Amino acid sequence: MTASSLTQQSFDYVIVGAGPFGCVCAHELTKKGNKCLVIDKRDVVGGNCYTENINGIHVHRYGAHIFHTNDKYIWDYVNQFAEFKQYTHNVIADYKGERYTLPFNMWTFNQLWGVKTEEEARQILEGQTYKGEIKNLEDQARSMVGDDIYEKLIKGYTVKQWDRPCNELPASIIKRIPIRFTWDSNYFDDKYTGIPIGGYTQIFEKMLEGSDVWLNKDYFEDKDYYDSLADKVIYTGPIDRFFDYKFGKLDYRSLRWETDTLEKDNFQGVPVVNYTDLKISYTRILEHKWFDHQNQKGTIISYEHPATYDGNNEPYYPIRDDKNTQTYNKYHELTKGLKNVLFGGRLATYVYYDMHQIIAQALKLVNEL
């Protein structure tokens, strides 16, 4: 169906955004017999989960994505669209050339202090942890893991990520820090963890079968037209943009990616290395072939550079401090007065979600229609 052949009410739903939330909604609504139009201003589907095949390597263009959940229903749901390979996420932190395993476990404590037992590790942590009033992220982190881990593995990385000193960031950013007194270095402890064989893009392409999909289309360039094509709109974009920044713009942190193709077959031997030294501008290096352990010749790496969100780059991480939370709440109140527009996804709710959470929320929305 082409744009020129469309008349008003050609669809039951117009879905703004072909990311995970929009794709799940389109799939479920189409199964129920609805006609859906999905539009996205990008030229690809899948949102930030999009992967592209370069020389046989599935490159995570917008950052590393590992599917993990404890919910068997969500795990079975996503597995209908692709075969998943069991995956153990091992992350290395680099601090001035010193290498540590993440999350914090006995390997980390051994590398830091040479300890071998839980009792030894607990004794050192107890002696270092901050016991005062928790006023900010620095206090929170030091109260959980002490000075050594905070200074080497948290402080620099966090400052780079948020572009603010840790003592100016809210404590709520770090609600919990996983600490294990075992030698288990698997980053996730969820029951189900995997990577789709063949990359993520196939999942979203299959979800969109049966829907009309228009890419390179900015909803706001012709909002009245798109709204006229269906009785209801499902909007997954930035909520402040939808209301024309009535209460001001919400703040985000963004990322800039620098990707290189190398002739060597192995650059770092793991998918992700975090760089926690503040003097190194990037926060992570991804080596994409190790996400699904491909054996192709050569390798592809991506440097992750934190960036200020300026409205032209991608909004990644909501800065949910008091000011932004109050602003979002005002926008959220406005959504309650709209009967024909539904809001969902991380940008429309101003929360950073994992993939399994987004899928669950999209399923819930459709089931309540």
CA 365, CA 369: separation in Å to the nearest integer? Answer: 7
Helix or strand (DSSP H, E) at 140? helix 137-149
Regarding beta strands 230-235 and 91-95, do their DSSP bridges make them parallel or antiparallel, or are they unpaired? Answer: unpaired
> Do 49 and 204 meet the contact criterion of CB atoms below 8 Å apart?
yes
Give the integer Cα–Cα distance in Å for 137 and 158: 9
Q: How far is 16 from 31, CA to CA, in rounded Å? A: 19
Q: Alpha carbon of 270 to those of 57, 109, 128: distances in Å?
A: 14, 20, 31
Contact 295, 327 (CB under 8 A): no
* Rounded Cα gap, residues 253 and 142, in angstroms: 24
Q: Which of 177, 169, 174, 176 is nearest to 135 (CA)?
A: 169
Continuous H helices in 183-321: 201-207, 223-228, 239-242
How far apart CA 238 and CA 315 sit, in angstroms, is: 9
Q: Is the dihedral of CA 321, 324, 330, 335 positive or negative?
A: negative
Active-site residue list: 176, 180, 253, 284, 304, 352, 354
Distance CA 104, CA 109 (A): 7
Whether residue 59 contacts residue 237, with contact meaning beta carbons closer than 8 Å, is answered with: no
